[in-house]
A and B are shown apart, each in its own frame.
Chain A
């Protein structure tokens, strides 16, 4: 620790150079933080084990609705506490490009399955008892300034009413929040009974089923059981954990992992060269000073560590600043990718730490080795 001041003052001997190098490092790690966050969010390892909810979709694809008549059979599977179904509504508000997530559901079943939605009991009841009722997530309600009691015309780009009208007049009967700060309620639900009666076609199609398990350990068995039940029927199913289902959704956007690692590869190659050059140059200039330290009794090992520490501190400070900025910016991305606080989470910070260590060693070892090997008498004589 007593060497720390020495390391710092050596580092800032050439202020312009060090600060510019740090700014480059800051940018590199800012990008690292943001891109890794995207990567982590998209590649979050999920296994069916320990899933508390299971999504059952048509095997063909989730866009094909499973029929409502499967409900009793699914409900009968051992280990399932509650089942709901949800039909994608294809909703937009006023303009076709103002799309939003909305599902037609059975209110009572929704309440039993998605337990994290917080809604006063009387609003749950109002939703169940109002044919044209709709409940709206707080984030979405804030966005359009919707209040309980508002009449909202919601358009669908899929479902016409029986008279061909694509606009559905709905009543906001509740606004729900989430008990889990990680998920922002940015969606709406309408009453399935009303929706099914009024829609022009597709009647009897339930969409996908979501089952809540009593014990997450049962996830794998229950999924298998459901899928086996409908095997070789016209309504073959595919069940997976809710997380896996959601992930598959975003993964289809493209090979995010490849894009991210390509960009970061280019960035780190560049930053390695830049910082390596800075460190090599600064050690080269300080050869006589390092020799003096050795005459004073600093061992070869200590001098080597001092140079390595310098590289570590240089890269560490740059990385810390970059990751800090990334974390702050990442807070704005939470709604988009999910996760709590900032998308630049602990896992991303851990990756950053590993990168800092590897980078420091790559950058610091050559000059540190040079400093270690340097002969006092030669260096003092300028040889």
Chain B
């Protein structure tokens, strides 16, 4: 991310627009400082997306915040830096479908059991999916997704999940809205629950929510301690302890 274009205007814009997200989501991360001296990731509003444009970034911030909100159960996707994770994944090999078989012909109407058959890389799924969702929101609510109130955003995400918005009618071919949603949800969960080395799960908040141990990876003496909650918190690949 160090090689991302440094654009002051853009930075100011992002910081401002991040503030429009309910304060509780962002603020609650303060309560989850790491106990060990791990290198501190910059706060979310100082992050320059490598893959996403500023409009797309607004979408990702506001969508992931609803998919995994900060609430009574604990910190949410923004605290965990899920948007950073998704940005890094899409800018890297995963986003480019580096290892996937992407030769045609593409049978985009194939039955779901045949698995992924679209011509889009994951990066393209996001680019097109966000554009189509924002177009859908503008058409129905006169604003892009990120500018909608929480109830309406929730409604839009539910509709995407069910696949009701017809992206084709909005000029985006070969992308069912439910497919876009499935990528978004899967990658959001990954960003919440994968090792912090990948940019998300900051201070291992996702793991702590579950009681998952991270990279501890040594439990021989615990195998036969039945029904005992494991007493130690997680560790990350970089040695951060929680």
Indicate, yes or no, whether A interacts with B.
no
